[in-house]
Structure 1
Amino acid sequence: MSSISIITVNFFQPQATIELLNSLYQYYAIANIEIILVDNGSPIDNELYFKRDYQNIKYIRSEKNLGFAGGNNLGIAHATGEYLFLINNDTEVTPGLIETLADTLKKNERIGIISPQINYFDNKKIIQYAGFTPMDYYTCRNACIGQFETDSGQYHNKIEQTGFIHGAAMMIRREALEKAGPMAENFFLYYEEMDWCERIKDAGYEIWVDTNGLIYHKESLSVGKNSALKEFFMNRNRILFIRRNAKPLQRMVFYIYFMLLVVPRNMLKYLAAGTAGFTKVLWSAIFWNIRNKTNSRDLGFRLK
């Protein structure tokens, strides 16, 4: 098997990270697999804590919160593998997952990055991801294939191109990484993996899914399922993604669509849900894009 670097980022979730490391135990004795743990935004050095039971992991600490892209990029910078598997710490792997994805990459050099099927951890028979439809750049909308369906094997042995990988679990070949570059860190949270797919495609590679690999995802442990942080970055980065990747006409149509349809709809949704304060967050996301260039490192959100 080719050399593989498994990279995960911990952000104040030590128990979830330990549970992931437990699920990766089958790979600790394999010489050509390394496991890299980035302790992101940690005020203290937790190396002894994480290495108590897992002495062979590479522990990297960042005192500053680098976000999803920055934390993974830090791990990438220390990785030596031919293939790099970026995996959320709020996931647990199933047997054979790593080998399945690596084997598919090895058989098809056109594939730059690939994701497995993802099911929800809380109900392992419910699918979260079996691929993505292509992006509609006029609305910045696409669909997650299979989401919320009961897994009865309907996507079994699906090994094909897809619109985008899923950021919770993605394996990239090093050659594609070197040509496309790392993830854009100014996204911080959300849409960075979709933007990365655009860079990978521009570098001449394809985006694939292989449902013979399966992972379980606990989802949204780090920011919560309904938070101002998530609302800000989802809106800010949706606009940013279009600014970076859509053609001029597509951008113009999107701006009209977003301001005339998305903004009023979201404001009504906030009122109905009792989260009227999110209206200010939404407008902050919009004005960030007016004030900042597409490569701006200004986050626009004060992190605690």
Structure 2
Amino acid sequence: MSKPKISIITVNYHQREVTGELLRSIQSCTYPNMEVILVDNEQLGDDTPFYQEILPKVQVINSETNLGFAGANNLGMQKATGDFFFFLNNDTVLGEGVIETLLSGFSIPDTGAVCPVIRYAENPEKIQFAGFTPIHPLTGRNSLDQMLSDQPWKESYYFHGAAVLIPREVVEQIGEMPEEYFLYYEELDWSQRLRDLGLKIQVGQEVSIMHKESISTGKNSPLKVYYQTRNRILFMRRNANSFFVFLLFFLLISLPKNWLKLRQAHAKAFRRGVLDALVFQKSGWTDPVEFSIPR
């Protein structure tokens, strides 16, 4: 019986050595029917020879502009020919048997996407992701579920963008990854589109990948603060049952709290995120250099 074709899509952003480690792990996989598409974001040269020395059949797409996480993945999907899209962060390491196990999750009725457990590369015993809780209607935040159950599969409210397998036919129904976010919250919004169709998200608890978290943006950088702040508001505007209730909580509780506790650079990034979301209604890319300039 033929195996469905898997299109592995990953995005590099000035981290070719890190991406090379992912390609080496993919090279070790024995799944017989897959293609690998690498979108090299904001690439003014061409590192294709470097990547193809590691994985000869990798397809490299060079983008001179920074398309963001969603835009780059969408570009990869446009070139992909697989029956399934397997989105993998470039700072992950893929293990043997992950693809086969994840495919088996689609035997569960109404499943629209599946994820593996995600573990911290620096401490593989520690789980980063085994599911997501729903977004809270007041705070606009949710939590990572980091506990395993005694079942092979567990339903999650959202999937994790670092590693998710989605059938092509589902993407054709929900549309491409939303590019308004540029960075952060896009997979939560995309997950919501999937759930709006009555489909479910499953986490395969018997397989995992390793993740070197936040290599591109830094674990607690002003860049991360800006996009998470702006996109939290954008997500709630698009998806909350009562955006006004969230906005009231945000302005009276969250904004004063964060304004006082954040360090100067982070406070400026937080302020920019709030202003761009509520006043200027800005989405997409924002130059991170501007975070250091008072507005």
TM-score bracket for this pair, using the shorter chain length:
over 0.9
Residue deviations 1:254-289, cap 9 Å, x none?
A: 11111121112212221xxxx213222212111112
Aligned to 2:278: 290
Q: Which runs of 4+ in 1 moved over 4 A?
A: none
Aligned pairs, number: 288
Letter in 2 for 1:11: Y
For 1:210, what is the secondary structure of its paired residue? Answer: strand
For 1:8, what is the secondary structure of its paired residue? Answer: strand
Check the 8 A contact 2:277/2:283 in 1, yes or no: no
| Structure 2 unaligned regions, length at least 5 | 291-295
* Alignment CA distance shift 1:31-1:96 (3 Å): closer
Aligned to 2:98: 97
For 1:126, what is the secondary structure of its paired residue? Answer: strand
Aligned to 2:120: 120
Letter in 2 for 1:265: K
For 2:165, what is the secondary structure of its paired residue? Answer: strand
Q: Which moved more, 1:16-25 or 1:206-215?
A: 206-215
Aligned to 2:293: none
Shift of 1:205: 1.7
Shift of 1:302: 4.5
Check the 8 A contact 2:158/2:191 in 1, yes or no: yes
Letter in 2 for 1:239: I
For 1:198, what is the secondary structure of its paired residue? Answer: helix
1:189 aligns with 2:191: no
- Matching residue within 265, 269, 278 for 1:277: 265
- Matching residue within 222, 226, 229 for 1:228: 222
Q: Whole-Å Cα distance in 1 between the matches of residues 127 and 65 of structure 2? A: 34
Q: Whole-Å Cα distance in 2 between the matches of residues 233 and 94 of structure 1? A: 31
With normalisation by structure 2, the TM-score equals 0.92
Aligned to 2:7: 5
Written as runs of structure 1 = structure 2, the 5 A alignment for 1:1-304 is 1-27=3-29, 30-105=31-106, 107-108=107-108, 110-146=110-146, 154-247=148-241, 250-270=242-262, 275-292=263-280, 297-302=283-288
**RMSD of Structure 2 on Structure 1 (CA):** 1.8
Letter in 2 for 1:115: C
Shift of 1:297: 4.9
Q: Whole-Å Cα distance in 1 between the matches of residues 128 and 220 of structure 2? A: 18
Letter in 2 for 1:276: Q
Counting aligned pairs with the same residue, the percent is 41
Q: Whole-Å Cα distance in 2 between the matches of residues 12 and 240 of structure 1? A: 27
Q: Whole-Å Cα distance in 2 between the matches of residues 302 and 135 of structure 1? A: 27
Shift of 1:199: 1.0
Letter in 2 for 1:85: F
| Structure 1 unaligned regions, length at least 5 | none
For 2:123, what is the secondary structure of its paired residue? Answer: coil
Check the 8 A contact 2:9/2:86 in 1, yes or no: yes
Check the 8 A contact 2:23/2:54 in 1, yes or no: no
With normalisation by structure 1, the TM-score equals 0.89
Check the 8 A contact 2:31/2:99 in 1, yes or no: no
Q: Whole-Å Cα distance in 2 between the matches of residues 123 and 96 of structure 1? A: 21
Residue deviations 1:189-219, cap 9 Å, x none?
A: 1000000001112233212211122001000
Check the 8 A contact 1:156/1:212 in 2, yes or no: no
